[in-house]
A and B are shown apart, each in its own frame.
Chain A
Amino acid sequence: DAGITQSPRHKVTETGTPVTLRCHQTENHRYMYWYRQDPGHGLRLIHYSYGVKDTDKGEVSDGYSVSRSKTEDFLLTLESATSSQTSVYFCAIKGSVLDNSPLHFGNGTRLTVT
């Protein structure tokens, strides 16, 4: 799995509570991504990072924030979880800005907001 660890793998939380998902990589890759996967929508980009402290929004960033204080860790935070954020969240990494550099994915975090 290209040295990517997502934690936790499963989480159940209540509406309104804060939640932080962690992505840890051992590849020293510059680019890191958070996607969510939902039935009927495929994968949608939430946020991505192109270096320490450098992040940008994806297409579904509302309700999410991210932080990258170290190369190896990319955190996704739901400040106040809602039921619409129930999803499977995938972290991915990319070693190069070159467009032929593929993404490598973690195995996902299944989040349920009740």
Chain B
Amino acid sequence: SQQGEEDPQALSIQEGENATMNCSYKTSINNLQWYRQNSGRGLVHLILIRSNEREKHSGRLRVTLDTSKKSSSLLITASRAADTASYFCATPQGGSEKLVFGKGTKLTVNP
């Protein structure tokens, strides 16, 4: 069963604006990961946040994790047209060898 659920399903913004995507999950986790998928390609790992971390940064990406609410957010600052992609959150299920993905948020950044 799906562990993470992203919100919104789709997001359209102008270049230079910030984009925020949210992920909710159901069970306790050790970490939460965000992936990006460009059209017609495989997913690419962006960032991982551990359950004992509240916030993590990587370039223009900022990820937060609230374990009490079982939710995470991905913020992309100063977005660019090249950020247009689908973004997925993923969490380990059962043993850490299995990763379960949400349905994704489709981000469109208009030039």
Interfacial residues, chain A to chain B (CB-CB below 8 A): 1, 4, 31, 33, 35, 40-45, 48, 50, 58-59, 90, 92, 94, 97-100, 102-108
In the complex, what distance in Å separates the CA atom of A107 from the CA atom of B103? 18
Asked if B42 lies at the interface with its beta carbon under 8 angstroms from chain A, I say yes
Choose among B43, B48, B92 the residue that contacts A105 (Cβ–Cβ < 8 A): B43
Q: Please determine whether A90 and B43 come into contact, CB atoms closer than 8 angstroms.
A: yes
Q: How large is the interface on B (under 10, 10 to 19, 20 to 34, 35 or more residues)?
A: 20 to 34
Query: B103: which A residues are within 8 A, CB to CB?
Result: 40-42
Choose among B35, B40, B96, B102 the residue that contacts A98 (Cβ–Cβ < 8 A): B96
CB of B3, distance to nearest CB on chain A (Å): 10
The chain B residue with its CB closest to the CB of A105 is B42
Q: Please determine whether B31 and A100 come into contact, CB atoms closer than 8 angstroms.
A: yes
Q: Please determine whether A31 and B101 come into contact, CB atoms closer than 8 angstroms.
A: no
The chain A residue with its CB closest to the CB of B91 is A99
Query: A41: which B residues are within 8 A, CB to CB?
Result: 103
Q: Please determine whether A106 and B42 come into contact, CB atoms closer than 8 angstroms.
A: yes
Asked if B1 lies at the interface with its beta carbon under 8 angstroms from chain A, I say yes
Choose among A42, A92, A94 the residue that contacts B102 (Cβ–Cβ < 8 A): A42
The chain B residue with its CB closest to the CB of A39 is B103
Q: Please determine whether A45 and B100 come into contact, CB atoms closer than 8 angstroms.
A: yes
Going nearest first, the 10 A-B pairs with the smallest beta carbon separation are: A105-B42, A99-B96, A42-B103, A102-B45, A43-B101, A105-B43, A107-B42, A99-B30, A42-B101, A99-B92
The chain A residue with its CB closest to the CB of B95 is A97
Query: B42: which A residues are within 8 A, CB to CB?
Result: 1, 4, 90, 92, 105-108
| Known A97-B97, A102-B33; contact A43-B88, beta-carbon cutoff 8 A | yes
Choose among B30, B35, B44, B97 the residue that contacts A94 (Cβ–Cβ < 8 A): B97
Query: B48: which A residues are within 8 A, CB to CB?
Result: 100, 102
Q: Please determine whether A103 and B45 come into contact, CB atoms closer than 8 angstroms.
A: yes
CB of A16, distance to nearest CB on chain B (Å): 28
Asked if B12 lies at the interface with its beta carbon under 8 angstroms from chain A, I say no
| Known A100-B48, A102-B33, A102-B48; contact A43-B43, beta-carbon cutoff 8 A | yes
